[in-house]
Amino acid sequence: MTYTKSRSPDSFSTQRSDILLIILIVASGLIGSLLTATTVNRRNQNFLLARVDTIATALPAEDVAKLQGNESDLTEENYNKIKAKLALIRKNNSDIRFVYLTSIKDSQVYFLVDSEDSASKDYSPPGETYPEASPEFVNSFKDGDHFVEGPYRDRWGNWMSAIAPIRDPNTGQIIAMAGVDSSALNNFLQVALYATIPLLLSAIPLVILIRQIRIKKAEEEIQMLKRRFISIASHELRSPLTGMIWGTQSLLGRTTELNPASKELLSDMSVSARSVMSTINEILDLSIFEEGNPDKLQHNQVDLVSIITEVQKEFKLASKVKDIVIKRDNSWPEHAYVIGDSGAIRRGMMNIVSNAIKYSPETTQVTLGYQKNGDMHTMSVHDTGIGIPSSEIEKVTEGYYRASNATNILAHGTGIGLWVTKLMLEQHKGRLVIESQENIGTTVYLSIPIASKPTTA
């Protein structure tokens, strides 16, 4: 089985998707913030304009028309009545700083009435000119338009201003312009406050996404370190175990030179070494199959008949210890070809046969069967062992789970053998099926797609 450390295309695709998602979230937040700022600013302007329109309509036009725009107005009843109304409007609208009436003469805008107290340093007496008036303000005396302008700066500060005409009810001519000033800073702070809401809302999924990306990256690093450790550890453990297995088999071959006690000890050593080797292979296979990357498997033409022959030989000693017969039934063809990784298929079959021997009583039989099911070669391993409780059949293929009755057997097990085999078969586009009855036995079916026969030269 080949093993590479290169990152899969899916990893790069996921990374690109994460970046695009981050960009989308940030863009959504910025667009939402801009739209909110525009909406709130327009709402404030419309609200300010609606109030100045109300003021222009509420003031008695006949009193306004009598204003002279000079100090002589200060003693007139109509002036003081209008000033009192403007002061009351100013008092009842805390967001408005100034309320006033203006007129124009020789293209110069000047004040008629100011809501400010005459003792205030910000007070503008009748007739005081307003040189900061914008061209739009000046033209409004001709056009008769109501409008909002700002933010702009004058001698009193930075303002948002709304202007509306007051007309003579008889002639329709403009006799004055009503105006209100609101702090541009307050408007900016209100707009900014509302504009931050979409940014804050977009920050929540952004923070979650970034956290998930960091967690995913950490998990990938852990997985990489795990695979590296497994690869190194497996290599370092396999070498001495291979030597131990080879040594014990060589010694067991000298049956005439061994006494019964030594032979039993060597048999136990051989079985233990093979068990450890099997566990190492399971862990190494699991680290690869969990990635779900079929490119890490070899894709060669494999004869399942040869695989099953090798497996029978491999368990000859282990089965002999329990006086179990591993028998291949008569259903097997001469050849059964598939495309796949011979090492992985062999170890998957060994996992199943190992379980059959491990959980079967002594002096029984393990039967290796075959059948052709449509486009699948199906191998089967049948035993008459302890079986698996029906409620746990699915669990034993999910990983790190041993059947409840298996834990009562004094036999080594990791709970990943069936899981690894299932993953291996799925990588080969095959499947694993288990039929079992507790205290009667188990049959495990391993199916792999059929490949055409190899061509001969």
Please provide the DSSP assignment of 153-210 as one string.
Answer: EETTEEEEEEEEEEE-TTT--EEEEEEEEEEHHHHHHHHHHHHHHHHHHHHHHHHHHH
Q: What is the largest CA-CA distance in the chain?
A: 141
The model's pTM: 0.51
* Tokens linked to 456: 């001969």
Band (pLDDT 50/70/90 cuts) for residue 245 is confident
Partners of 379 in the beta sheet? 370, 446
Phi first, then psi, for residue 341 (nearest 5°) are -100, 110
Band (pLDDT 50/70/90 cuts) for residue 457 is very low
pLDDT digits (tens, 9 = 90+) for 257-275: 778 787 778 777 877 777 6
The pLDDT, as a whole number, for residue 252 is: 73
Cβ neighbours of residue 193 closer than 8 Å, sequence gap 6 or more:
none
Helix axes 260-289, 184-252, angle to 10 degrees: 150
Q: Which of 252, 244, 256, 240 is nearest to 317 (CA)?
A: 252
Q: Which of 181, 104, 99 is nearest to 139 (CA)?
A: 104
HSE, side-chain direction, 13 A CA sphere, residue 402: 15
Q: Are 445 and 379 in contact (CB under 8 A)?
A: yes
* Tokens linked to 442: 């188990």
CA 273/CA 320 separation, integer angstroms: 16
Is pLDDT at 4 greater than 60 in this prediction? no
The pLDDT, as a whole number, for residue 400 is: 72
Collect contacts of 250-257 with beta carbons under 8 A, ≥24 apart. 252/317
Is pLDDT at 288 greater than 60 in this prediction? yes
pLDDT digits (tens, 9 = 90+) for 326-344: 999 999 999 999 999 998 8
Percent of the chain with pLDDT over 70: 87
Helix axes 9-58, 77-92, angle to 10 degrees: 150
| Domain architecture of the chain: domains with CATH | 34-190 (3.30.450.20), 293-449 (3.30.565.10)
